[in-house]
Structure 1
Amino acid sequence: MSYSIVEKGALNSLQYQVYFVGPDGGYVSPFHDIPLYASKEKKIFNMVVEVPRWTNAKMEISKEEKLNPIKQDIKKGKLRYINNCFPHHGYIWNYGAFPQTWENPKHIDAHTLQKGDNDPLDVCEIGYKVKKRGDVVQVKVLGVMALIDEGETDWKILAIDVKDPLADKLNGVKDIEEHMPGFLAATHEWFKIYKMPTGKPANQFAFEGKPKDREFALEIICQAHEQWNQLIHGKADPAGISCMCTSLKESKFVISKEDAAAVVHAAPPAAPAEDVPEMGLCKVMKMDYQPI
């Protein structure tokens, strides 16, 4: 399946939104309409890229907005940017989410004994190529880390584009260490320190910060997919989440293509990007990604 995007508003502004267009030309929700599995038999998954590697804007699928466009996260009325933490620049992987997954905030995870974070599962794609915001990438799952973020379980799935030159050699976390030495340690360090420039303490982890392997990660994905199924079929409290979709005919939240188009057309028109703010010693560079 091929997907494209429509950008609304100006990049680096509160109005910026990225909507998704499905294979049939109609608008879709990246949260609900894009399938989790690209191939269930081969355990290949669709990943929605929210943040390209080496960029700083904290972009994410907006759970609350109709059709769930990608938007920049906001805190105290201001756009959020991730500080550059030496020696890293921005995000060190292509960062995004698995569609059709949800970490139920009322569910206490049996492994971490913490509640879910109310988001789709986060994914770190570790291949060599810098992706574009809004790309839908087919990935192989390699493992998972369990970040504990303010009393919530925030799983971080480790995956690689199936087309990456290393994809055939990587089948688990041991293979990452063998073929990409130091990358797991860098990932752990990044998640530990990335909030510290804003005055927050170092992040904590379950399992002593050690990644769990592929089979464990696949169990977490199945759990989050089932929790999403409960959500989209009205069996879990959405608590402000928009479940609007266009392809899931069995869902009570499905809307017509015409109604979906009306949502997108009502958004602010596309506009030139605004300037990126400077952030002291951890300045956010005035650059966007350069896909390879």
Structure 2
Amino acid sequence: MLLPGNCNLFSHLLRSIQGIVKMSTENGDELSPQRRAPRLNERILSSLSRRSIAAHPWHDLEIGPEAPSVFNVVIEISKGSKVKYELDKKTGLIKVDRILYSSVVYPQNYGFIPRTLCEDNDPMDVLVLMQEPVLPGCFLRARAIGLMPMIDQGEKDDKIIAVCADDPEYRHYTDIKQLPPHRLAEIRRFFEDYKKNENKEVAVDDFLPPSSAVDAIQYSMDLYAEYILHSLRK
């Protein structure tokens, strides 16, 4: 989503660079080393497009043509991390929210689905099972295999359980029932315990099938279209 402030910043930056280069050329003056104008070629200038400066992972990244079954996920937290990263909605950057209070780490990569909206005013949360940790800010393709109903301090905060669609070890999974029981117990226990030392209550219900996950994603896509897209078009 391109904000007016970003447009002004880009225009001001480009005018300033062009002005410096023009003055140097017209006057025939050699700028001092401290004030030497950069030699910008067309490739560099084209990379400073307004889209690249203002791209927002929640709003600008496509959800994917196969959604709600297979979809893009922006990773916020790496598998094995104790750092709770999250999307800063205003800037689109990934920020550090806190360090987990308990001696636990995220059991899998964790992120959100772009162009979705849930009842907590956040995009849909996803836990993505795969072999390797993924850097925060990267996106990947995932397939929904189940839904974990969760209540966080009295508010609905369900999580989609998914597998990386391009990981040869995990992409064949299509149903959460196919996962080893210990893997499911590990995921459930993490979310039940990770806020206990903050004196915050989290309740996790029984895992639901892929159809429930797909329905939840479709609902979040519809909410986004109704509320977010409608407001952007005004």
TM-score (norm 1): 0.59
Give how far 1:26 is off. 4.6
The reply on whether 1:204 has 2:207 as its aligned counterpart is no
Counterparts of 1:15-54 in structure 2, within 5 Å, are 25-37=52-64, 39-40=65-66, 43-54=69-80
Unaligned runs of 5+ in 2: 1-47
Give how far 1:41 is off. 7.0
Match of 1:174 in 2: 177
Classify 1:31/1:168 alpha carbon distance in 2 versus 1 (closer, same or farther; 3 Å): closer
SS in 1 for 2:126: strand
Classify 1:31/1:190 alpha carbon distance in 2 versus 1 (closer, same or farther; 3 Å): same
SS in 2 for 1:234: helix
Unaligned runs of 5+ in 1: 1-20, 74-79, 104-115, 236-242, 244-250, 253-292
Q: In the comparison of the two structures, how many residue pairs are matched?
A: 186
SS in 2 for 1:212: coil
Give the distance between the partners of 2:124 and 2:139, measured in 1 at CA.
15
Q: Deviation per CA, 1:192-221, whole angstroms, max 9, x where unpaired?
A: 1111122334x113xxx2111111100000
| Structure 1 residue ranges (4+ consecutive) displaced by more than 6 angstroms after TM superposition | none
Counterparts of 1:182-221 in structure 2, within 5 Å, are 182-201=182-201, 203-205=202-204, 209-221=205-217
| Aligned residue type for 1:154 | D
The reply on whether 1:82 has 2:100 as its aligned counterpart is yes
Give the distance between the partners of 1:90 and 1:151, measured in 2 at CA.
23
Residue identity over aligned pairs, in percent, reads 27
Q: Deviation per CA, 1:138-180, whole angstroms, max 9, x where unpaired?
A: 1111111011112211111111111212334310111113xxx
| 8 Å Cα contact 1:57/1:72 also seen in 2 | yes
Q: Deviation per CA, 1:81-120, whole angstroms, max 9, x where unpaired?
A: 11343xxx421110100011111xxxxxxxxxxxx22211
| 8 Å Cα contact 1:49/1:135 also seen in 2 | yes
Classify 1:31/1:52 alpha carbon distance in 2 versus 1 (closer, same or farther; 3 Å): same
Counterparts of 1:1-292 in structure 2, within 5 Å, are 25-37=52-64, 39-40=65-66, 43-63=69-89, 65-66=90-91, 68-73=92-97, 80-85=98-103, 89-103=104-118, 116-177=119-180, 181-201=181-201, 203-205=202-204, 209-234=205-230, 251-252=233-234
| 8 Å Cα contact 1:169/1:175 also seen in 2 | no
Give the distance between the partners of 2:59 and 2:171, measured in 1 at CA.
29
Alignment root-mean-square deviation, CA:
2.2
Structure scoring higher RCO (CA < 8 A, sep ≥ 6) equals 1
More helix by share: 2
Classify 1:48/1:158 alpha carbon distance in 2 versus 1 (closer, same or farther; 3 Å): same
| 8 Å Cα contact 1:141/1:214 also seen in 2 | yes
TM-score (norm 2): 0.73
